[in-house]
Amino acid sequence: MVQTDPNCIFCRIVAGTIPCHKVYEDDHVLAFLDIGPLSRGHTLVIPKGHWATLEQVSDEAGAAIGRVLPRLARAVLNATGAKEWNLLQNNGRAAHQVVDHVHFHIIPKIGDTGLGLDWPAGKLAGENAKALLNAMRQQL
């Protein structure tokens, strides 16, 4: 049995106490239309269990989402006629997360609609990369 939070809006959508426009459902995953779409077909994909951010999700729930994301994306693209799209997944307020239940956005790019992005790229220095890699690999 997965954990749920009775105060969480997405857990209540999973439970069926708040309605949604359901796109897809299996034992682990629910996909539904975003109520405030950035473009036609904007779809949210969530684990049925409640975790606030992606790094907390169980391997099983993460795998279940990964398994269906390409198929859901194909459905969104084929239904809308969009050819380009973004996958967005926000974690934490500063990273633009509003609903504290892990969710992936499938956002078609249709004309001017879809995701807008600022991408202030830095430069990766070799020495910094080495220290960073060591630190990260020790955590895996």
Residue 99 contact partner, candidates ligand 5GP, Zn ion, none, CB within 5 to 8 A by sort of partner? ligand 5GP
State the CB neighbour count (10 A cutoff) for residue 110: 18
Q: Which of 28, 42, 50, 103 is catalytic?
A: 103
Kindly indicate which of the ranges 58-66, 77-85, 92-100, 129-137 contains the residues binding ligand 5GP, using the contact rule CB under 6 A.
92-100
- Picking from 31, 41, 35, 37, the residue whose alpha carbon sits closest to that of residue 102 is 31
Under the binding rule (CB under 6 A), the answer on residue 104 touching ligand 5GP is no
Among 10, 32, 85, 104, binds Zn ion (CB under 5 A): 10
Interface with ligand 5GP (CB under 6 A), residue from 36, 116, 122, 126:
36
103 carries an active-site annotation:
yes
Smallest gap from residue 10 Cβ to Zn ion (A) = 5
The beta-strand segments (E) located in the chain are 22-25, 29-33, 43-47, 84-88, 104-109
Report the side by side order of strands in the sheet with 22-25: 22-25, 29-33, 43-47, 104-109, 84-88
Q: Which two tokens stand for residue 13?
A: 């959508």
**What does the radius of gyration of the chain's CA atoms come to, in whole angstroms?**
17
Query: By the criterion CB under 6 A, which residues form the site for ligand 5GP?
Result: 9, 18, 20, 32-36, 44, 90, 96-99
Active site residues: 103
